[in-house]
Structure 1
Amino acid sequence: MRRLLWPLAILAALILLNVAFSPGFLSIQMREGHLYGSLIDILRFGAPLILVSLGMTLVIATGGIDLSVGSVVAISGALACLQLSQDASVLTSVVLALGLSVLLGAWNGFLVAGIGIQPIIATLILMVAGRGLAQLITDGQIITVNSPAYKLIGGGYLLTIPFGILLVLVVLGVTAFLTRRLALGMLIESVGGNAEASRLAGIRARGIIVMVYAFAALCAGVAGLMISSNVSSADGNNAGLWIELDAILAVVIGGTSLAGGRFSLGGTVVGALIIQTLTTTIYSVGVPPETTLLFKALVVAAVCLIQSPSFREKVFRRRGTPAGPRPAAEEKVRVTA
């Protein structure tokens, strides 16, 4: 819980800033049996990023990185919409899209664990080629669909709550159960801490690495379905563009180390909500569109610095505070000199 202190404080500060500019920001209303409000919108529009970030968390926990999730988002949405436009059922379209996503993720894992390619290079291949594959599926066009059942995934409601939020809660619950209630989380952390030592201890590190990359692609595939169903169309060029960078930022803000090892699913969710709330804040404050990315980058940099214990110690340390006793080795050198 201590690890989440600063991310939660930053999220609260962003919410208060929005309240200052829009007094009704915290209000939630019931319209036509559905919940509406700014907080609901943050959760609904942030759902795809939360899903992608959850998958990215486990990849980073193994000491890897996945730059291809944005392309997988585009491929998943493109294939599902293509199938729907050819009169395939929603179930068939969803299964094919998610199946291809898992295969692409397993391919990334094979390149990393089986062949030994650096994760950033292995996933960069699919990041570039995957975007072209998405455009090949859509023939360079935006495919529009008209399916109420498919619309439910990203733009529908269930029990008054946006279906995307419920879907995220299910994925988060299953992921937390598998990684925190079972030994899987410990195995992932051990592989990220020291893959060679894990292998010598009898842990099948290669299999775990392939699994987490496949899971990350599966989460990206579901996010692609949510994004395309929300707008009832598939855009192979722009769908999921740069979402991999937001996902990495969400994971880092949430306290997961890029070096691998320990990870925090709760921190990742908070980090993703911070990024989505920041996007909402940008529109509320009225930041000019041409400076949006610069403003966002500055805020994220400030967030990361505030979370750094060494940075806080250097900046917020009181003047005049004694530096403490010198180390013995340093005192010996000084006396000798």
Structure 2
Amino acid sequence: MLELAAELLDRVRSGTPYVVATVTSVQGSAPRRPGSSLVVDADGAVLGNVSGGCVDSAVVQACQEMLRSDRSPRNLEFGYTDDDAIGVGLTCGGTIGIFLRHHDPRAEPDLAAEPDLESAYADATRDAPVAVATVVRGPRSDLGRMIVVRPGRPHEGTLGDERRDEVAAAHVTDALQTGTSGTVDIGVADSHRREPSTLLVECHTPAPRLLVFGAIDHAAALAQVGAFLGYRVTVCDARATFATPARFPYADEVVVDWPHRHLQTQHLDGRAAICVLTHDPKFDVPLLTAALRLPVGYVGAMGSRRTHEQRLVRLREAGLTEHELGRLHSPIGLDLGARTPQETALSIAAEIVAQRLGGSGAPLRSGIARPRSTSRSQESR
């Protein structure tokens, strides 16, 4: 529901009751992931979706029924069978679980079951890190209980007892560090309860960082793709003539500085991606020496295989270990046969996504990973 934080903040402040339907599980192929939400409010407005259209109408109907009568939290499941091809289900063949919960801003607040969602929504709208964890499976008396977690601050709300809150808050804090929404199972031993339960953890984190070093045409194309994917994009180059905002309209910032010096001023997490497009040893070696020692998710460098081998020699001389060198994606990108800067940017972005999500980069129809080769646009670099 945090993906709809701005709209829900309006409902809370106006005192409008609403029901949130959130995807909690996905099996097989499905268009939306855990944490995706659909909201129906008491005025009849519908926000978001949970299936891209396949079962949204049925979910809206269930939300409307909850608004009218039984407000108890509940789980729904939708799938697809050949025997009922025109019925309610997912045409893509998957199965999704959905959790429905009623919210009434006008009701007397009960912080034991309802933390301050207004402040959580407000945090998300101003791009501050925040997470909401909800019990979606477990003892019936616990369904719908919620806690709100922010980095470095005590959690709000309770899941039923102090020990369970501590365990849940630790799991949610871990999820916040990666910005990953999904479910977490809390075992009997963890929380000293007789029945296990499942939490839906919804995270909002600031946009991940994409740092592109080297103010070349490929950097302009990569900045555009990175912005489309939701990254906060920085382009950096020591040459003021080339590093201008006019050349990189899709970058959030364009920095004139020595690349390694600028990198050392940044606070980056495991979602950050660093792309080195300079292919000049005086820039590359100090920059990659610093980058490969940071806890970032991706470090890639442009250049042919020959350039890469020469670069490895220099990086070893600079003191990098084989483990650190093993993190380097070079030649950068997946083998798409790219020729233009735009095609090369697509191949780089595809590799970043595959690295982040654990994909193989292989064609889905084959299920077999193919060895990467240098894209044609890098052969001469």
Q: TM-score, normalised by structure 1?
A: 0.25
User: Which of structures 1 and 2 has the bigger CA Rg?
Assistant: 2
Q: TM-score, normalised by structure 2?
A: 0.23
Higher relative contact order (CA 8 A, sep 6+): 1
Q: Which is helix-richer, 1 or 2? A: 1
